[in-house]
């Protein structure tokens, strides 16, 4: 197994080493690359641009250290993700201090409190940007000086694996690339999707386009040669890149490999659903988009097999999992977008039926691909994934309850012009708990930890947003101040404030973080929680969510049960559900031992109690 | 008491008039009033914002603090006569898409009785 080696530097040299033999791509690799280029651009153009693609790969390869080349030879794709993988999601400046650069502050806090808990850090876009909190990148290859430098990123790399954002769908209107387009520099004229007149885009075309925004998809810009209409899926400051231009694709592959040189172990393909624009279609998850991701995957398989791709596609579940490709040729990890709204629905209604039904349909993807199980991130709780799982009314009810808890709702425009909820803007703590409810804080913490336990036990790799780890509440005032609903869960925290909370065992922050850390540490010790270990969902009760996880050899079994209600519950688990007779079980959470004469188990769960029963087949 | 509360439409609709400054100092009381309405089975509520010049996030949050509870009982919380400042807040927060907003209290009350 070749995981990240703690204390190892980045394994890449800053300058290429051309004394070493140049990368040789085997015939199978060449065929895969060329096949994709031809499928995207046609026979002639595909062949024309192939040599440049090969050159980019060779240059990247020349940056690898000898140590890394040896390291990669030991790499086994099946163990890219293991039970030890738990990802902490954070902005580079979510914790700030007067005395140091935000990335340096983050490194200090992560090393001090989260080493041995999280092994991977997802630092949300840390590049210079002009809006959308980093997602309107002005320069893909620099670190925002307000956050720190590449040296700070390397410092984090010493202790953690790193996940970088590939914000490859669009670029800032303030970027040099777009400014050169406005100057009508021939090199950049085709970098964007441009129309000269509105007549080129019919109302029928516009109606077909599916987008998570209600703003105009076409934005006018004054250029050297007059006004041009430019494709802007997200905002007028986020200009879609034109992947129909092979030069754009090659440039982005170069940047992808630059990120790997700079320490990325996982690349998150942001908003990748919208990568290709094709008038007359919905412009979402087109075949060309999948081909482009597959090409990225081919590139990584050839020169950086240890690096994984994760797609972020807030779309209905069936479409979302198409980004796994055949399980071995597209993303290695996909955001499990259906999980957060289903867990939220479960806890809002104190009923696990819908979650249980859906979870029973989740199968292992392949030995090399798995789900990314998150409940919260820098964005809200996306609801598109459950469009075909929950009824319209159930989604609406869920949204209204989030509103009651002080959150907000973002809408998207459907093809017919109507609006439907796209995401719920809230912190996870406020989504699960009501601030003005007359109930003890302890119960709210138990409810919160219980909700999160589901993502920690579920098949896949879990991720926790920093505000989720700390149990932050909605920052509703920031929404008004910044005129952005997503600001509700993006509050920058003062280092001193966080340190005080984390050092005070009586604080809610400590109790929440500690409760989650305990579960994470248990998870990391258990092979049955390997992302691809078998999973069986037990439909034992609507009050409980029950998962059976097992090691591939079935020697170790974990029965993960979460009481999703505020009532005590009794449960008898018949041995037929377990599939084997185990006489002694130990709850890994409470360290309580349960014995059984006939293989069946009787349990009593307190409100929102989490039990992870481990049994060993002897 | 910061709020004027009265019934309209022969007791079918509850009307609450909010103060000039609808902020964190007074929003808790508003939440309590709404909760009491819901606890008593009064689900048709009009929030009269005609006097409110300033509102913060706690005021906004208080308005929708029982929106699910009322709608799940065939009721609603409807807005009357918001000033420009408040309308802007509804825009920013998307509440404009969720709440039914009327120019007058009468219009809001009538919307219930017309159903």
- Please give the pLDDT value at position A5: 52
What residues contact A236, with CB distance under 8 A and at least 6 apart?
A173, A215, A219
Question: Could you read off the pLDDT of A356-393 as tens digits, one per residue?
Answer: 999 999 999 999 999 999 999 999 999 999 999 999 99
Classify the complex by whether its ipTM is higher than 0.90, answering yes or no: yes
Question: Could you read off the pLDDT of A257-267 as tens digits, one per residue?
Answer: 999 999 999 99
Question: Could you read off the pLDDT of A522-538 as tens digits, one per residue?
Answer: 999 999 999 999 999 99
Q: How far is CA A330 from the centre of its chain?
A: 15
**Measured distance CA(A505)–CA(A512) in Å, rounded:** 10
SS3 B87: helix
Q: Does A407 touch chain B (CB under 8 A)?
A: no
Transcribe A183-218 into DSSP letters. Answer: TT-TTTTTSB-EESSGGGS-HHHHHH--BS--S-SE
Q: Please give, rounded to a whole number of angstroms, the shortest distance from the CA of A398 to a CA of chain B.
A: 9
Rounded to an integer, the average pLDDT of A87-93 is: 98
Chain A residues with CB under 8 Å of B95 CB are: 408
Q: Inter-chain contact A404–B68, Cβ cutoff 8 Å?
A: yes
Chain A residues with CB under 8 Å of B68 CB are: 397, 400-401, 403-404
Q: Please give, rounded to a whole number of angstroms, the shortest distance from the CA of B23 to a CA of chain A.
A: 11
- Please give the pLDDT value at position A7: 42
Chain A residues with CB under 8 Å of B56 CB are: 477, 480
Q: Inter-chain contact B92–A483, Cβ cutoff 8 Å?
A: yes
Q: Does A406 touch chain B (CB under 8 A)?
A: yes
pLDDT of A499 strictly over 60:
yes
Break chain A into its structural domains and give their ranges.
Answer: 176-240, 535-616
**Measured distance CA(A387)–CA(A384) in Å, rounded:** 5
**Measured distance CA(A131)–CA(A137) in Å, rounded:** 8
> Please, which pLDDT band fits residue B113 given cuts at 50, 70 and 90?
very high
Chain A residues with CB under 8 Å of B69 CB are: 404
pLDDT of A62 strictly over 80:
yes
**Measured distance CA(A265)–CA(A259) in Å, rounded:** 9
- For residue A444, which phi and psi values (nearest 5 degrees)? -65, -40
Q: Inter-chain contact B31–A436, Cβ cutoff 8 Å?
A: yes
Number of helices (H), then strands (E), in chain B = 6, 7
Q: Does A403 touch chain B (CB under 8 A)?
A: yes
Instruction: Please state, in angstroms and as integers, the Cα–Cα distance from residue A480 to each residue in A167, A304, B101, following that order.
Output: 27, 44, 19
> Please, which pLDDT band fits residue A9 given cuts at 50, 70 and 90?
low
Q: Does A438 touch chain B (CB under 8 A)?
A: no
Residue A612, H or E segment: strand A610-616
Q: Inter-chain contact B57–A411, Cβ cutoff 8 Å?
A: no
Q: Inter-chain contact B57–A409, Cβ cutoff 8 Å?
A: no
Annotate A224-256 with three-state secondary structure.
CCEEEEEECCCECCEEEECCCCHHHHHHHHHHH
Q: Inter-chain contact A404–B98, Cβ cutoff 8 Å?
A: no
% of chain A exceeding 90 in pLDDT: 85
- Please give the pLDDT value at position A413: 73
- For residue A586, which phi and psi values (nearest 5 degrees)? -125, 130
> What's the token pair of residue B75?
């009721």
Q: Please give, rounded to a whole number of angstroms, the shortest distance from the CA of A32 to a CA of chain B.
A: 47
**Measured distance CA(B45)–CA(B3) in Å, rounded:** 14
Top residue of A401, A408, A484 to mutate, by most chain B CBs within 10 Å, is: A408
Question: Could you read off the pLDDT of B17-39 as tens digits, one per residue?
Answer: 999 999 999 999 999 999 999 99
% of chain B exceeding 90 in pLDDT: 97
Q: Inter-chain contact A403–B67, Cβ cutoff 8 Å?
A: yes
Among the partner residues B28, B56, B64, nearest to A477 by beta-carbon distance = B56
Question: Could you read off the pLDDT of B77-103 as tens digits, one per residue?
Answer: 999 999 999 999 999 999 999 999 999
Rounded to an integer, the average pLDDT of B74-78 is: 98
CB contact at 8 A, A354 and A390: yes
Chain B residues with CB under 8 Å of A344 CB are: none
Q: How many Cβ pairs within 8 Å bridge chains A and B? A: 51
% of chain A exceeding 70 in pLDDT: 98
Top residue of A213, A345, A403, A484 to mutate, by most chain B CBs within 10 Å, is: A403
CATH topology of domain A176-240: Oligo-1,6-glucosidase; domain 2 (3.90.400)
Q: Inter-chain contact B97–A411, Cβ cutoff 8 Å?
A: yes
Q: How far is CA A366 from the centre of its chain?
A: 19
Q: Inter-chain contact A400–B68, Cβ cutoff 8 Å?
A: yes
- Please give the pLDDT value at position A1: 39
User: CA nearest B85 in A: which residue?
Assistant: A480
Top residue of A480, A481, A483, A485 to mutate, by most chain B CBs within 10 Å, is: A480
Chain B residues with CB under 8 Å of A403 CB are: 64, 67-68, 98
Interface of A with B in 281-320 (CB under 8 A): none
Q: Inter-chain contact B98–A409, Cβ cutoff 8 Å?
A: yes
> Please, which pLDDT band fits residue A203 given cuts at 50, 70 and 90?
confident
Chain B residues with CB under 8 Å of A407 CB are: none
Chain B residues with CB under 8 Å of A411 CB are: 94, 97
Q: Which of A208, A220, A209, A217 is nearest to A235 (CA)?
A: A217
Max Cα distance, chain B (Å): 35
Annotate A1-65 with three-state secondary structure.
CCCCCCCCCCCECCCCCCCCCCCCCCHHHHHHHHHHHHHHHCHHHHHHHHHHHHHHHHHHHHCEC
Chain A residues with CB under 8 Å of B89 CB are: 480
Residue whose pair of structure tokens reads 């807005």 in the numeric block:
B79
Q: Which of A340, A378, A373, A376 is nearest to A94 (CA)?
A: A378
**Measured distance CA(A278)–CA(A293) in Å, rounded:** 17
Question: Could you read off the pLDDT of A288-338 as tens digits, one per residue?
Answer: 999 999 999 999 999 999 999 999 998 889 999 999 999 999 999 999 999
Q: Please give, rounded to a whole number of angstroms, the shortest distance from the CA of A345 to a CA of chain B.
A: 14
Among residues A240, A270, A475, A587, the one annotated as catalytic is A270
Rounded to an integer, the average pLDDT of A472-490 is: 95
Tell the burial category of A364 from Cβ atoms under 10 Å away from its Cβ (0-12, 13-18, 19+).
middle
Strand pairing report for A381-382 and A370-374:
unpaired
Residue whose pair of structure tokens reads 């140590």 in the numeric block:
A67
Angle, CA A66 vertex, CA A63 and CA A69 arms, to 5°: 85
- Please give the pLDDT value at position A8: 53
What residues contact A26, with CB distance under 8 A and at least 6 apart?
none
Rounded to an integer, the average pLDDT of B40-48 is: 98
Q: Does B98 touch chain A (CB under 8 A)?
A: yes
A66 catalytic residue (yes or no): no
- Please give the pLDDT value at position A3: 54
What is the DSSP secondary structure assignment for residue A366, as one 8-state letter? B
Tell the burial category of A600 from Cβ atoms under 10 Å away from its Cβ (0-12, 13-18, 19+).
middle
> Please, which pLDDT band fits residue A351 given cuts at 50, 70 and 90?
very high
CATH topology of domain A535-616: Immunoglobulin-like (2.60.40)
- Please give the pLDDT value at position A246: 98
> Please, which pLDDT band fits residue A2 given cuts at 50, 70 and 90?
very low
Q: Inter-chain contact A436–B58, Cβ cutoff 8 Å?
A: no
Q: What domains can be seen in chain B, in order of their start residue?
A: 4-113 (3.30.750.24)
Q: Inter-chain contact A411–B94, Cβ cutoff 8 Å?
A: yes
Angle, CA A482 vertex, CA A339 and CA A138 arms, to 5°: 80
What pTM value is reported for the model?
A: 0.95
């Amino acid at each position: 197994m070749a995981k990240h080696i703690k204390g190892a530097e980045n394994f890449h040299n800053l300058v290429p080493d051309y004394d070493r033999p140049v990368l040789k791509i085997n015939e199978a690799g060449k065929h895969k690359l060329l096949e994709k280029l031809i499928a995207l651009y046609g026979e002639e153009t595909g062949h024309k641009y192939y040599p440049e693609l090969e050159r980019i790969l060779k240059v990247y390869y020349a940056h690898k250290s000898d140590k890394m080349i040896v390291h990669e030879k030991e790499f086994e794709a099946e163990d890219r993700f293991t039970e030890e993988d738990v990802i902490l999601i954070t902005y580079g400046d979510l914790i700030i201090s007067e005395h140091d650069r935000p990335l340096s502050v983050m490194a200090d806090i992560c090393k001090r409190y989260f080493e041995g808990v999280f092994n991977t850090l997802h630092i949300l876009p840390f590049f210079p940007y002009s809006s959308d909190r980093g997602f309107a990148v002005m320069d893909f290859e620099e670190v925002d000086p307000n956050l720190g430098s590449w040296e700070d990123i390397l410092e984090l790399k010493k202790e953690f694996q790193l996940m970088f954002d590939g914000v490859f769908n669009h670029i800032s209107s303030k970027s040099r690339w777009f400014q050169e387009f406005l100057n009508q520099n021939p090199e950049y004229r085709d970098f964007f999707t441009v129309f000269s007149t509105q007549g080129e885009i019919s109302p029928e075309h516009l109606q077909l386009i599916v987008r998570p925004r209600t703003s105009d998809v076409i934005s006018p810009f004054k250029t050297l040669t007059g006004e041009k209409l430019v494709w802007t899926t997200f905002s007028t400051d986020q200009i879609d890149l034109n992947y129909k231009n092979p030069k754009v694709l090659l440039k982005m592959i170069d940047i992808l490999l630059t990120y790997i040189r700079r320490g990325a172990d996982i690349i998150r393909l942001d908003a990748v659903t919208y990568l290709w624009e094709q008038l007359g279609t919905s412009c979402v998850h087109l075949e060309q988009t999948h081909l482009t991701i597959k090409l990225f995957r081919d590139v990584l398989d050839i020169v950086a097999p240890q690096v994984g791709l994760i797609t972020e596609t807030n779309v209905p579940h069936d479409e979302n999992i198409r980004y796994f490709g055949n399980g071995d040729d597209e993303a290695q990890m996909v955001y499990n977008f259906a999980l957060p709204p289903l867990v939220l629905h479960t806890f809002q209604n104190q009923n696990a039926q819908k979650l249980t039904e859906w979870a029973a349909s989740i199968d292992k993807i392949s030995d090399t691909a798995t789900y990314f199980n998150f409940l919260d991130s820098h964005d809200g709780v996306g609801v598109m994934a459950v469009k075909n799982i929950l009824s319209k009314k159930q989604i609406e009810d869920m949204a209204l309850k989030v509103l009651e808890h002080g959150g907000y709702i973002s809408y998207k425009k459907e093809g017919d012009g109507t609006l439907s909820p796209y995401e719920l803007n809230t912190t996870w703590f406020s989504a699960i708990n009501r601030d003005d409810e007359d109930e003890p804080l302890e119960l709210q913490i138990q409810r919160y930890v219980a909700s999160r336990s589901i993502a920690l036990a579920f098949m896949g790799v879990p991720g926790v947003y920093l505000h989720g780890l700390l149990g932050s509440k909605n920052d509703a005032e920031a929404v008004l101040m910044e005129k952005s609903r997503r600001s509700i869960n993006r509050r920058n925290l003062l280092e001193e404030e966080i340190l005080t909370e984390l050092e005070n065992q009586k604080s809610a922050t400590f109790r929440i973080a500690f409760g989650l850390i305990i579960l994470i540490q248990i998870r990391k010790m258990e092979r049955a929680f390997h992302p691809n270990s078998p999973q069986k969902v037990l439909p034992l009760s609507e009050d409980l969510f029950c998962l059976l996880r097992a090691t591939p050899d079935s020697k170790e079994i974990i029965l993960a049960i979460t009481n999703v209600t505020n009532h005590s519950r009794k449960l008898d688990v018949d041995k037929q559900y377990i599939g084997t007779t185990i006489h002694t079980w130990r709850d890994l959470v409470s360290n309580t031992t349960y014995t059984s004469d006939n293989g069946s188990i009787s349990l009593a769960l307190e409100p929102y109690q989490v039990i992870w029963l481990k049994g060993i087949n002897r | 008491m910061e709020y004027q509360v009265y019934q309209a439409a022969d007791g079918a609709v509850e009307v609450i008039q909010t103060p000039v400054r609808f902020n964190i100092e007074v929003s808790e009381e508003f939440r309590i009033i709404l909760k009491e309405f819901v606890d008593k089975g009064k689900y048709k509520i009009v929030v009269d914002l005609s006097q409110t010049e300033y509102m913060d996030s706690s005021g906004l949050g208080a308005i929708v603090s029982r929106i699910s509870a009322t709608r799940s009982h065939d009721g609603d919380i409807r807005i009357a006569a918001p000033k420009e400042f408040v309308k802007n807040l509804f825009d920013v927060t998307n509440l404009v898409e969720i709440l039914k907003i009327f120019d007058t209290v009468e219009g809001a009350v009538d919307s219930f009785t017309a159903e």
